[in-house]
Amino acid sequence: MLPTKAYAALSATSPIAPFSFERRDPGPTDVLIKISHCGVCHTDIHMSRDEWGGSLYPMVPGHEIIGTVVSVGSEVTKVKAGDRAGVGCFIDSCRTCPSCEAGLENYCDHGFTGTYNSMTRDGKSLNFGGYSEQIVTDERFVLKVSEKLDPAAAAPLLCAGITTWSPLRHWKVGPGQNVGIVGLGGLGHMGIKFARSLGAHVTCFTTSKSKVADAQRLGAHEVVLSSDAEAVSKLTHRFDFILDTVSANHDLNTYLGLLKREGTLCLVGVPPEAAAVHAFGLVMGRKHLAGSLVGGLPETQEMLDYCAEHGIVSDVEVIPAASINEAYERMLRSDVKYRFVIDMATL
């Protein structure tokens, strides 16, 4: 077993605090990664505070993991010692269902195994995430990360990046299309960067006047305040695709009305309450309301390679591990542009 230092939540009400545990010894198909950086996702707050129910403690959060391969098992071929590597939102799946065989492990018919707040497939032990100094993962769930990418700024690509990349690619966003990005946070800022890079005309919808200039800096051609009903109404039937990244309650009908015939509104944010959607908003124009959850391993690797080729990373603020509780509170106030990343050398 491998003694490992970490930060963990011991209960739903306790702060994130120093914690020690043991990683399993690597097997023939395993990769041991020394973690250099781990992004801080809003999901970490929900999970550690049991806001979605079913949280397992002690919990070491973190699923935006970047580090260096220390050693590999005898059967590993994907990476070698010294390579930069990443681990995202899941570390196992059934591997045999149609979704897994299609490289869409994120939609595993039997449920993927989360990088943290989950049990191993045999149900015998807890999985601990990236707020730690090292991780052992089967090579199938390890991603190769180019040395061209800054490791701190690349860490959020493993969640915020792939969460926005996957639907943009699935719905074939590209030149000649009008694309809307709803919300400008950890997800939204990556959605703008990707949609612009893929050649679309990008409009950002935000509730904050203070974010207008930043949305333009990130690549939005137009920025619209979603509270400005007149400005929004002028965009009726404008968009081929709208990516909705907002996790607060909001009116989806407004954005359905902005779609062209056969356009798609795709949700990647998860509001706490069920949304009321009027059927007329869908049937009048054969429009589509869809959702997307992170991405499979092949498309995550595609995204990382694309980012290396085009110089795309997240906008981050790097913090020491001891500042994680302050970071959580700042995230709740939207006081970050646009992702906190923990420097794991500060453990």
In this predicted model, what pLDDT tens digit does every residue of 60-107 receive, in sequence order?
Answer: 999 999 999 999 999 999 999 999 999 999 999 999 999 999 999 999
What total number of domains does the chain contain? 2
pLDDT value for 76: 98
Q: Domain check: are 147 and 187 in the same one?
A: no
Q: Does 297 fall in a domain?
A: no
pLDDT value for 90: 98
- Structure tokens that stand for 140 in this block: 């199938």
Q: Does 250 fall in a domain?
A: yes
Question: How many CB atoms neighbour CB 40 within 10 A?
Answer: 30
Residue 216's CATH number: 3.40.50.720
**C-beta of residue 239 within 8 angstroms of C-beta of residue 262:** no
pLDDT value for 317: 98
Q: Domain check: are 71 and 108 in the same one?
A: yes
Q: Name the pLDDT band for 265 (thresholds 50, 70, 90).
A: very high
Which phi and psi angles does 236 have, rounded to 5°? -55, 135
Q: Domain check: are 78 and 135 in the same one?
A: yes
What would the pLDDT profile of 168-185 be if each residue is shown by its tens digit? 999 999 999 999 999 999
- Contacts of 129 by beta carbon, 8 Å cutoff, 6+ apart: 38, 59, 60, 61, 62, 63, 65, 115, 116, 117, 135
pLDDT value for 281: 94
pLDDT value for 95: 97
pLDDT value for 44: 97
Closest CA to 300 of 152, 86, 102: 86
Q: Domain check: are 149 and 10 in the same one?
A: yes
What is the average pLDDT score of the chain? Answer: 97
Dist. CA 181–CA 165, nearest whole Å: 12
By the 10 Å C-beta count (0-12 exposed, 13-18 middle, 19+ buried), 105 is classed as buried
Q: Does 16 fall in a domain?
A: yes
* CA 109 vs CA 90, 98, 104: distances in Å: 14, 8, 10
Q: Name the pLDDT band for 291 (thresholds 50, 70, 90).
A: very high
Q: Domain check: are 106 and 222 in the same one?
A: no
Q: Rg of the chain over CA atoms, in angstroms?
A: 20
Q: Domain check: are 114 and 197 in the same one?
A: no
β-partners of residue 342 are 38, 319
What would the pLDDT profile of 19-49 be if each residue is shown by its tens digit? 999 999 999 999 999 999 999 999 999 999 9
Q: Does 302 fall in a domain?
A: no
Q: Does 304 fall in a domain?
A: no
pLDDT value for 126: 97
Q: Domain check: are 106 and 185 in the same one?
A: no
What would the pLDDT profile of 229-240 be if each residue is shown by its tens digit? 999 999 999 999
Residue 75's CATH number: 3.90.180.10
Q: Does 299 fall in a domain?
A: no
Q: Does 303 fall in a domain?
A: no
Q: How far is CA 258 from the centre of its chain?
A: 26
What would the pLDDT profile of 113-160 be if each residue is shown by its tens digit? 999 999 999 999 999 999 999 999 999 999 999 999 999 999 999 999
pLDDT value for 99: 98
Q: Does 237 fall in a domain?
A: yes
Q: Domain check: are 200 and 331 in the same one?
A: no
Q: Domain check: are 24 and 142 in the same one?
A: yes
Q: Which of 258, 276, 291 is the last residue of a domain?
A: 291
Q: Domain check: are 259 and 284 in the same one?
A: yes
Q: Domain check: are 8 and 109 in the same one?
A: yes
Dist. CA 40–CA 64, nearest whole Å: 7
Q: Domain check: are 120 and 194 in the same one?
A: no
Domain that holds residue 72: 2-159+314-346
Average pLDDT for 214-232 = 97
